[in-house]
Amino acid sequence: MSRHVIVVHGGAGGFSKRDEKYLEILSEATAKGFNIIERGGSALDAVVEAVVVLENSGKFNAGLGSCLTLDGIVEMDAGVMDGSTGRVGCVGAVRCVKNPIILARKVMELTDHILLVGEGAEMLAKCLGLNIDPSLLLTEEKLSRLSDIKEKIRKQGSLRLKKLDKIREVCPDLYGTVGAVALDRAGNLATATSTGGYWLKLRGRVGDTPIIGAGIYADKTSAASATGMGEVIMKTLLCFRVCQFIEWGVSPQKAAEAGISIATKRYGSGNAGVIVVDRNGDIGIAFNTRGMAIAYMYEGMDRPIAEIRIREDI
Ligand code: ASP
C-alpha cells in the first residue's frame, strides 16, 4: 500500500548541528508541499511550491539566496519533472528571475523544449512577468562574502580558473541547493530542484540541476533530486542511476546509498547528496558530505520532521 509523502532537502555540504536555523524554513516548505497533496493536489504542485518557499527565503543557495559567480553576478539553474507524464522543464544560467523553478515549469508547460538557458530563458521570463531586476539578487552580504572567499584563496596561492579544491577548503558550506520529491494520493511522483550553483563558478557554467538524470529524474517508479558538486553528479548521472536501481527492485534507501557510493568511489567524498521516493512512498536519503539538511512529512504525521543529518565518518 502506498502513502503520500514529500521529502525536501536544503543541500549537502559542511553542515553542522549549529545550522539548525535552516530547519524552520525547511519545515515550512515541507508542510506547504504536504498540505497540497493532503488536499488531493498533485505531486508536481507540491514539489514546485515547496521549492518556491526555499527560493524566497534567501537562506539557501537558490532564488534570492543564490551565491555569486567569480565576477560577482547571480546565475541560477532549476529543473522540474513529472514522473507520471514524463514531462520535464529546465532553465540554466538565468539572471533576472526571482523563482527559477516557476520558469522551469513554464518551459515544461508552454514550450516544446526541455531546457532553455541564459538570454532566451530570460526573454520567456519577461514575457510571463517573472523577471526582476538582477541587482535585487546582489546583497552587500553576498558581495563581502565573495571578496572574503577570494581573499582566503589568494592567501593560499593564486586565484586560478581551476580552483574547486581550494573553494571546498575555504568554504565548506559550498552547497545549499534546494530540492523536493513527492508522491501524491493518486500515485504520481514528481521532483523539483533549484540552485545558484556554487561560489566562484565561471559565468555561463551550468550544473547538474537542469540536466535530466543528473540533478533531477522522475518516472512512474520513483523521483529523485540531487545536490553537491554538479560536475560529479553529471558524470555519475546520479538521479537516473538511483531511480534505475529502484526499478530493478532495490529499496529507495539502498538505491540512494549505492548511487552515492558510486560517486564516492569514482570522485572521492564531499561532493554529493540525493533524496528519492518510490511509488510506495518509501524514501531514501544518502550523502557523502559531512552533513545534509532534510525534512519530510508522511500521511499520518501532524508536522514535518526536519533535521541536519551528520556523517561522523567524513
Ligand atoms: N548541484 C549544484 C551545482 O553544482 C550545487 C549544489 O547542489 O549546491 O550547481
Which pLDDT tens digit goes with each residue over 266-306?
999 989 999 999 999 999 999 999 899 999 999 899 999 99
Report the sign of the C-alpha dihedral through residues 105, 107, 113, 117, in that order.
negative
Average pLDDT score over residue span 203-224 = 98
**Among 177, 236, 264, 289, the one annotated catalytic:** 177
Q: Kindly state the helix (H) or strand (E) to which residue 49 belongs, with its residue range.
A: helix 43-57
Helix axes 252-267, 238-247, angle to 10 degrees: 140
Instruction: State in Å: Cα 113 to ligand 1 middle.
Output: 23
Confirm or reject: Cβ of 179 under 6 Å from ligand 1: no
Confirm or reject: Cβ of 177 under 6 Å from ligand 1: yes
Question: Which ligand 1 atom is the nearest neighbour of the CA of 207?
Answer: 9
pLDDT higher than 80, residue 175: no
pLDDT bucket at 158, cuts 50 / 70 / 90: low
Whether 236 is a known active-site residue: answer no
Instruction: State in Å: Cα 293 to ligand 1 middle.
Output: 14
CA distance 273 to 229: 9
Domain boundaries, the chain: 5-77+138-310
Question: Which ligand 1 atom is the nearest neighbour of the CA of 176?
Answer: 8
Question: Which ligand 1 atom is the nearest neighbour of the CA of 205?
Answer: 9
CA distance 274 to 296: 14
Give me 222's grid cell: 520513483
In CATH terms, the superfamily for domain 5-77+138-310 is (Glycosyl)asparaginase (3.60.20.30)
Query: Residue 20: its pLDDT value, please?
Result: 75
Which of the pair, 62 or 153, is modelled with greater confidence?
A: 62
